Structure formats: C-alpha cells, structure tokens
Structure 1
C-alpha cells in the first residue's frame, strides 16, 4: 500500500489566494475552482465581474484535470485533432484548457480549474495558484 498526501483546507486557501492574486494582477474576472483527487469541489470563488457560466466551467475543468491526472488542455487537443468520439466519454465535461492537476510525489492530489478569460490565461492563473504549494 502507498501513502498519499491530501489537500488540507490551509493548502486550498493558499492555492486560492495565489490564483486570485494572479487574476487580480492582470485585471481578469474569473471563477477559481479547486477539487480533491476525486474531482469533488473543495473551493469555488467567483471574482467580481466573472461571467455566470464560468461558475460551471471552472469546476468542470478542475474535475476533468483531477480524474484524468493531466491538464484539461490534453482533452481539448484530442477533440480539436479530430477525435470527436472522445466527446462521448462519461463524466468528462471540462474539455477546455484551464484545468491543471496538483501533483505531489507523482500522485494527483487535486486540481485547479479556472474560467473567465482566454484559456491560456485561465491555465496561467491555475498554475500560479498551484505554485503557492511549492511542490
């Protein structure tokens, strides 16, 4: 059996604060979602001015990144590459860039999903949040 790290509330708050700081620094109105390794929502923060739909897209991106153990952009690239049959995959909705897994010791312990600006900028915010953990 393996021992695996888990996100604690203090970790989630640190990630959220760093992601928020990155978004505010760039004047980006986004929703920030943080999930555990099973894709269960731990944190949802919709900044002032963020589109209402971003509160659905952000968690979906995080869920996809956590369950897939990889950035949600991988799935966007698969679909854009012509494998549209992937759209039928069960329980996978956030197939857009902006979901980033949190990896510690080779294990996925959660993910951050951001929505509200360009997908590359969403991913930038998510990665800035994760960087706060110093992994």
Structure 2
C-alpha cells in the first residue's frame, strides 16, 4: 500500500459520499493495520476519526468485511463478544487482497464512518474498487 494509491482510494470514497449526501471520514491502512491515509469531510461526525481507522484495522485483522464480522459477533454468533476496544463490528470496513504467487493475502484495508451503515459500505466499496483496478 503506497500513499498515492491510498489517497486515490480516499478520494473515491469522498466522491461517493458526496453523491449520496453523506459527510464521512475515510481511512486506508496497510497490512499491519497502520494508517496510510485519512480524510474527513467538513461536517463529518465526531466519531469518524476513531471509527474509520478502527473499521479498516478490524477488516485487516480478521480478513473479512466488518459487516460480515458483525453478523458473527452478534448474540448467538460464533464470535459473540468480539467487539471491543479495537474491533468495530458493523459495516464500513473492507480488507484489500493481493496475490503474490503463493495465494491471496490481506495487504491493507479501508474504513469509512459518518453516514448510514449502507452509505459507509458504499463509500468503502468505492475506495476498494480503486484498489482492485490499480
């Protein structure tokens, strides 16, 4: 994950948010969950700078979207109780995958917070599509 690509991913998420009328924060992290790029729109919610990087980190740490993880972490799910200090288990976080010849591995993640869950997911997908078409 390099800065130029991470910035393009953030811009794609912001464009999608503008189309949907949402004010978001967006974070892109590397394979270790470390922040590479972050942007916050004017008027975005106070929690976004905490939740967006946490969603990206959660997606990397578990190798699945935070929406999928949320279903597993819900009462009765096999990962019930997972959500806590570092893991955010609701939509808006997406892991980024790459194949280096030995199979696919997680190489980063994107997290979005500030809209509805559906808007966060849509904006994160817009950012992830930049990764997929790089």
TM-score above 0.5, yes or no: yes
Q: Where does residue 3 of structure 2 map in the other structure?
A: 9
How large is the RMSD of aligned CA atoms in angstroms? 2.0
Give runs of aligned pairs for residues 17-36 of structure 1, distance below 5 A: 17-36=11-30
**Contact 2:25–2:49 at 8 Å: present in 1 too?**
yes
Deviations 1:15-38 (A, max 9, x none): 111111111121210110111111
Matched residues, number: 129
Query: Is residue 73 of structure 2 the alignment partner of residue 79 of structure 1?
Result: yes
Return the offset for 1:84.
Answer: 8.1
Moved more, 113-122 or 90-99: 90-99
1:51 to 30, 45, 49: 45
Q: What's the CA shift string for 1:112-131, capped at 9, x where partnerless?
A: 00011111210110110111
Structure 2: stretches of 5+ with no match in the other structure: none
2:124 pairs with one of 115, 119, 126: 126
**1:39 matched residue in structure 2:** 33
> Structure 1: any 5+ residue segments left out of the alignment?
1-6
